[in-house]
Amino acid sequence: MSDVSNTKGTTGGLIWTGTVVAYAAVVLFPIFWMALMMFMPNDAMFARPTVWTFTPTLAHFEYVIEQGFYWNLVTSFLLCLVSTALVVVIGTPAAYAFARFEMKLKDDLFLFILATRMAPPVCLVIPFYFIFAKVGLLDTFAGLTLAYMTFNLSFYVWVLRSFCRDLPVELEEAAALEGWSRAQIFRRVVFPLLRNGIVATAVLCFIFAWNEFLFAFMLGGETVQTLPVSIPKLITSQGVRWGEMAVVGITALLPVLTAVFILQRHIVRGLTLGAVKG
């Protein structure tokens, strides 16, 4: 009986593994093809039937460098990094306060914060445009950083509040009995316990900012132009420059993949924080 069970288990494992591999192949094939397009000459790219062997070219990379797309990449990275850092600095105490302190109309205020994230972006970008035009923040790094921070802050507070509520309050009470101030409790007890949740939520905010187009398009311009906004420049009167678009696409994918790979341990722990409670 045990041999039969082991055989069924092995067969089921092989079927499951094969299914996962097939699914991964389907999902990753467009990325693989886009990576090939970075080195494909145009004649091989549009050949029918499909050509799998070709002489690699670096012409697409040269065009992207000549057009200054690397500056757009640096601008996007700095905007996302600075805005995410500000979200963490401002949003972490706010989420903790919503989770631990009692205040009047707390649920209504929290719902209002959440509603700003649920609203369509076009409802927010128009008021942002007129306000920024009045105060001189259009097409500035500070203005776009403020806009990114605003639409990510509500999401960050909303997610991190649930992490804060799952923390054992007994640890904070014990620290208070030792004479620690609220600031010391937050810095020495709460923050280390929240580290994984903070990293996981911050990475999500970074990805949201990295992929953002509407705010960058409306509030940016020639001086501050992010990578998503610069991509339409590859659609010319002669057609779409697919090879160059593949280069920009893969380049845009690398920072997110690198961040997730480096911080994957914190992300997994953060996303599962509070999933199982004793």
The answer to whether residues 112 and 166 belong to one domain is yes
Tokens 């445009």 sit on residue: 129
Domain assignment present for residue 45? The answer is no
The answer to whether residues 190 and 232 belong to one domain is yes
- State the pLDDT at residue 147: 92
Residue 241, sorted as left (phi over 0), alpha (psi -120 to 50) or beta, turns out to be: beta
Can you give the pTM of this predicted structure?
0.82
The answer to whether residues 125 and 159 belong to one domain is yes
- State the pLDDT at residue 277: 44
| Separation of alpha carbons 147 and 70, rounded Å | 23
Domain assignment present for residue 46? The answer is no
* pLDDT, the chain, mean: 84
| Separation of alpha carbons 21 and 79, rounded Å | 36
Q: What is the DSSP letter of 50?
A: P
The answer to whether residues 171 and 67 belong to one domain is yes
Domain assignment present for residue 43? The answer is no
Give the Cα-Cα-Cα angle 104, 109, 112 (nearest 5 degrees).
160
Provide the pLDDT confidence category of residue 273 given band limits of 50, 70 and 90: low
The answer to whether residues 14 and 145 belong to one domain is no
Domain, as residue range, for 160: 61-271
Cα–Cα distances in angstroms (integers) from residue 69 to residues 5, 74, 76, in the given order:
58, 9, 11
The answer to whether residues 119 and 231 belong to one domain is yes
Q: What CATH number has the domain bearing residue 130?
A: 1.10.3720.10
Residue 57, sorted as left (phi over 0), alpha (psi -120 to 50) or beta, turns out to be: beta
User: Which helix (H) or strand (E) segment is 53 a member of?
Assistant: none
- State the pLDDT at residue 99: 83
